[in-house]
Amino acid sequence: MLHVAGFFMGSVLAWFAFTRGSMVKTVSVCAGLFALGGVLETCQLLVSYRHFSFKDILANGLGIGAFLICRTVLEYVSGEREGVGVKECIIGRSTDDGGLKTEGWG
């Protein structure tokens, strides 16, 4: 469960930091996170007090997959395809005068 939650949150943070809402970039960053998780898990073979587990690698992928599903659902619900991004739905939309509108999403 810790791997699922950790890689879900890692995916969320990477999405906010690097991808700017692009699905291609999002999947690329998530693939990188999954590869990093696999490398870190494999490195545990070199440490005597740690254990390698395929279940942990699968849990990493499950957390990343859950993020991708949530991102897709938020994209659909927020109307990103109509010009409103997921970030604007979560954070709020900027107004014409440079302020931030956080109520009345529609």
pTM above 0.75, yes or no: no
CA separation for the pair 89, 3 (Å, rounded): 27
Percent of the chain predicted with pLDDT > 70: 73
CA separation for the pair 66, 68 (Å, rounded): 5
pLDDT band at 15 (very low <50, low <70, confident <90, very high): confident
pLDDT band at 88 (very low <50, low <70, confident <90, very high): low
